[in-house]
Structure 1
């Protein structure tokens, strides 16, 4: 075998994945893409029926597909393939700040975009107000996706929710309503007290749980399935609401709008 043929053989991978009329395995597509990006020629074998898939699993004593083989070794599924190439593999239970970073980054850009649309410039006080108000609204949406799950996680640390369980289900609606009204700059007499109240209760609850009791909890700030640690992020969310609850009435009295 020539050097070229040997190199080509060494960079060949065999992939078995489900490709059926009504289902194409997404992890099979990801495995194929990863192999090709790593410079492998992929022998792509399709498992076109459930019976064919079950027979493959039984023959190779595996429980899932896709399955990748390189040389004489079975690498495994997509997760094992990522590990094989030294890629990061995130645990489902691993803590992450990515949802919060995404929300605040988009909220900031939306604040600038609204300011540009309204005033033709991003350098306005309203841009900062819109940033905070949009942040509140986006965080509220995260909670509203699964109110039951949020309220359950919320009960781990919120002092008021522990005394009045229904508060955990009211909270997401209050935060979202306050954010929407603040975006519009309307009904400040409703939005400001709501933001001030829930922000103050939340800040006290988070501070007590994290900095007094020293508990390690997950934050419900981006919904009930969050892996964001309770602490600085949630405290910041509540301080933002307190700030907006104080600032918006002052703004209305000084500028009349």
Structure 2
């Protein structure tokens, strides 16, 4: 028999290989076909295998859930199974703040650094430019940690990266260049326009992904940190877009 499952937490081909290997190790599993972009897996098994048995073999970073309604898991009635899965999601939602902790700490450091750099001669405009420059430098660093895995993760929701995979490869370098431009106060208006363009396009892609109810991981911090895409991407993009628009209005 074949069953379809949704799997959250996969960001690159290494994740696919790991998930496939772990699931194939489950007794009774014949074949495993994992789709990274859809976040799905089709598993052919000798007989029904409980979802708990599949969860036990996967690392904690992955969450697997059966997509096809029908036979109850572990002999539970289907409505009871749905309640159990719903409770698991509620528990996951309660830990969102913990999942976002790395991102919040990064922003706290960036805000503090921007404030200290302009403490003696305070200027909110200068502080915002420093923040944006530091933002790009720090975020590009995380992408460079896994330069091979980032393009595929980024292409899962960024419209440009989907059409032109090469864009995913140059994006970390683009962020690094923008960071240097902001910090050195070089061609600020150009850097602001590029910021609004690339982050605006990414936000559109994220919105489409959410409307399609697809669950994928945020690639904005590369694949080094596993963050919930919705919250992480909107927090990052909204702050940067607001700052870019404000600065652009002030310039013109």
TM-score (norm 1): 0.55
* Uncovered stretches (5+) of structure 1, i.e. residues with no partner: 1-89
2:191 — aligned with what? 191
SS of the aligned residue for 1:206 comes to helix
Q: 1:175 to 1:243 in 2, by over 3 A?
A: farther
1:240 — aligned with what? 239
Partner Cα distance (2:247, 2:174) in 1: 16
Offset of 1:149 from its aligned partner? 1.2
Partner Cα distance (1:186, 1:235) in 2: 27
Residues 181-226 of structure 1: CA deviation (Å, up to 9, x unaligned): 223332124312221111111110111112x111111100111233
Partner Cα distance (1:93, 1:226) in 2: 13
Q: Contact 2:142–2:224 (CA<8 Å) still a contact in 1? A: no
Alignment of 1:88-237 (within 5 A): 91-93=60-62, 96-116=99-119, 119=121, 121=122, 124-210=124-210, 212-237=211-236
Q: Contact 1:175–1:195 (CA<8 Å) still a contact in 2? A: no
Offset of 1:131 from its aligned partner? 2.5
Offset of 1:92 from its aligned partner? 4.8
Offset of 1:249 from its aligned partner? 3.1
Larger Rg: 1
SS of the aligned residue for 2:229 comes to coil
Partner Cα distance (2:60, 2:101) in 1: 14
Pairs aligned (count): 160
2:77 — aligned with what? none
Q: 1:244 to 1:185 in 2, by over 3 A?
A: farther
Residues 140-177 of structure 1: CA deviation (Å, up to 9, x unaligned): 22112222211121122112111110111122222222
Offset of 1:93 from its aligned partner? 4.8
Q: CA RMSD in A?
A: 2.4
* Uncovered stretches (5+) of structure 2, i.e. residues with no partner: 1-58, 64-95
2:250 — aligned with what? 251
Higher relative contact order (CA 8 A, sep 6+): 2
Runs of 4+ in 1 over 3 A off after TM superposition: 90-95
Q: Contact 1:111–1:131 (CA<8 Å) still a contact in 2? A: yes
Partner Cα distance (2:225, 2:194) in 1: 24
2:11 — aligned with what? none
Partner Cα distance (2:148, 2:242) in 1: 28
Q: Contact 2:128–2:243 (CA<8 Å) still a contact in 1? A: no
SS of the aligned residue for 2:216 comes to coil
Partner Cα distance (2:251, 2:194) in 1: 16
